Amino acid sequence: MAEKVHWASGITKRLRNWSERQDTEAEEALLELVYTELHRQAHRYLQRERAGHTLQTTALVNEAYLKLIQQKSVVWESRSHFFAIAATLMRRILVDYAKSKHRERRGGGMEELPLEDALTVAVSNDTDFDLLALDEALTRLAEKEEQLAKIVELRFFSGLDVPETAEVLGVSESTVKRDWAMAKAWLYRELTR
């Protein structure tokens, strides 16, 4: 138990440092903490799944975050902010991971491998997309309208559902739905061009 408290207080402190002073080192440390916690949670989650529990995509991430912020010293007003930050971090973690896989498979960048060997993530049930391409497209989308990209980060990279996303962004659920549709359509078009 003591360990958890330590972790949680660590992340809160980092978070404050980051939000108050734009401390990039705090960001790095935060990234690490989230990553470790995510990994731990993911492991548990998969074990449970195997044991026959139902699959809940958002549960994993929520649980990881909640574990980290569940303590009295956390001001609840910062929750949204926290999720927003966490979504960005999550995108970075996942894209970095995809990149590392990409490098691995491509022989450290020495040789070009056939396209099908590049890392793909099943971003839909029937089509696989390169997560790195998605990341790039998302960056372009953010230039057009940042909120759309933010919603994708929260929903796709962080696994939040519509109400949660709405809460984090302080917008209505219908706005989230509308923006989500636009973002999906636009990104899908980018990736299938």
Q: Which residues sit at the interface with another protein, rule CB under 8 A?
A: 10, 25, 29, 32-33, 36, 38-39, 42-43, 45-46, 50-51, 55, 57-58, 60-61, 90, 94, 97-98, 101, 103-104, 107-108, 110, 121-127, 131, 144-145, 152, 155-159, 178, 181-182, 184-189, 192
125 backbone dihedrals φ, ψ, rounded to 5° = -70, -25
- The SS3 of residue 62 is helix
For the chain, report the end-to-end CA distance as a whole number of angstroms. Answer: 51
Residue whose CB is less far from another protein, 75 or 185: 185
Cβ contacts of residue 190 below 8 Å, gap of 6+? 137, 140, 141
Instruction: Identify whether the C-beta of residue 130 lies closer than 8 Å to the C-beta of residue 119.
Output: yes
Residue whose CB is less far from another protein, 75 or 181: 181
Residue whose CB is less far from another protein, 12 or 77: 12
* Least separation in angstroms between CB 11 and another protein: 11
* Least separation in angstroms between CB 136 and another protein: 14
Nearest by Cα to 114 from 123, 105, 122, 126: 105
